[in-house]
Amino acid sequence: MPKSASILCVFLLATSLGSLAQASPGPATTPAGAVASGHYPDLFAEAGHARPDVEAKIQAAFQQLFHGDPATQAIYYETGSNADGPLAYIHDVNNDDVRSEGISYGMMIAVQLDRKREFDALWNWAMTHMYQRDPSHPAYGYFAWSMRTDGVANDPMPAPDGEEYLITALYFAAERWGNGQGIYDYRAQADRLLRNVLHREAITGQTIHGQMTALSLFDPKTKMVRFTPDAVNAAHTDASYHLPAFYEVWARVGPQADRAFWHQAAQVSRDYLATTAHPKTALTPDYGNFDGTPWAAPWRPDSADFRYDAWRSAMNWSVDGSWWARDHREVEMSNRLQAFFDAQGMDAYQSLYKLDGTLLGGGRVTGLIATNAVASLIATNPRRLAFVQSLWDSPVPNGPQRYYNGMLYLMALLHCSGDFRAWLPHASP
């Protein structure tokens, strides 16, 4: 089939599935996204920075966070080897643990930067220490979200955003480097994990927290990612776990039988993000109900506010808008969000707010500066370049808080430079 016809078929399929959602994904005249066009915008160039300077900035950030001073700069640590090769983890220095989120972010950064050694070492550590192989355990087929650096689980249950990034990074690795053997057969590993995410049956068993029943990571009825598969809290979600750009990838390269589901899940997540984003500020809560309302979790009532998880929501919808260009509301949301933060003062806005914009404090934080810059991928107001420049002017995070801020910072550099790409058959540079 000619490429143009293939693109048309994909568009018609997505349009048909999108009609199942609550709102229109936008006008038919929406321009092609970066995946179809092959053009990933370089926002730093738009802001006046030369390409060699952009590349040097990205490499310097990678070298500092992955191979800098282990006491004050690095978050990537190699820790010996096993039969599958080198092992390495990403360290949340402040909380002194290793998180599936961090491993998955590190792998995504590594595949985007063509750093196969670091990618494989992180994946090996995840499979060696985080992956649950016991079929009687409620977390069977998933990754423990928090581990000690010695490989002992702090909490064996998963946080689904880790699986989402792991799966997508593996698919990109398969396209960029080809498949190897065993755990390095990237595509086979991604397919297996993706089937578990959607189809794994409920398992009741003993955990370090007592008896627990865990379900699939996606709710098959709503087609939404769960906050947790723990059956007690499985009817909730997290806006920052909604990654429609990735679901569109899965709809193209994942197991054939599930591709229609992932097309639908992408539009469901677009609708969810548009619903949960505040109508004036576009701020989203950390945790939410499936209907888009905030969820104040019993153990964390402030999860109804815009806090650390929620920083990522705008990054998620903006990358989706840039890659796939399926929903005009994402552009409006990025404009609304940047208008809110601009009104707080470009050099003064803080990091924690009520959804209506009431300040809760938190100080000026690099992680939020980073994700707000990514919103410029689809924002249309001229203020968008001020957010890009703010990211450019921010130093590479160091010290005790360098893990989360550093991961978001480096991913934002890749997004804003046009170097964070969907590595897909016939769509890669």
Res 250 pLDDT > 50: yes
175-233 residue pLDDT tens: 999 999 999 999 999 999 999 999 999 999 999 989 999 999 999 999 999 999 999 99
287-341 residue pLDDT tens: 999 999 999 999 999 999 999 999 999 999 999 999 999 999 999 999 999 999 9
User: At the topology level of CATH, where does 9-24+34-417 sit?
Assistant: Glycosyltransferase (1.50.10)
Residue 10's pLDDT band (cuts 50, 70, 90): very low
Does 393 qualify as catalytic in the annotation?
no
Contact 168, 182 (CB under 8 A): no
Res 14 pLDDT > 70: no
Does 330 qualify as catalytic in the annotation?
no
* Cα three-residue angle 332-250-175, rounded to 5 degrees: 110
Catalytic-labelled residue, pool 92, 97, 101, 248: 101
- Sorted by where each begins, the domain ranges of the chain are 9-24+34-417
Q: Which are the contacts of 173, defined by CB distance < 8 A and separation ≥ 6?
A: 107, 111, 116, 119, 186, 423
The predicted model scores a pTM of: 0.92
Contact 88, 37 (CB under 8 A): no
Res 6 pLDDT > 60: no
When pLDDT is averaged across residues 355-374 and rounded to a whole number, the result is 98
Q: Which are the contacts of 250, defined by CB distance < 8 A and separation ≥ 6?
A: 167, 168, 171, 194, 258, 259, 262
Catalytic-labelled residue, pool 161, 286, 309, 320: 309
- For tokens 């700069």, what's the residue? 73
- For tokens 């000690």, what's the residue? 148
Residue 32's pLDDT band (cuts 50, 70, 90): confident
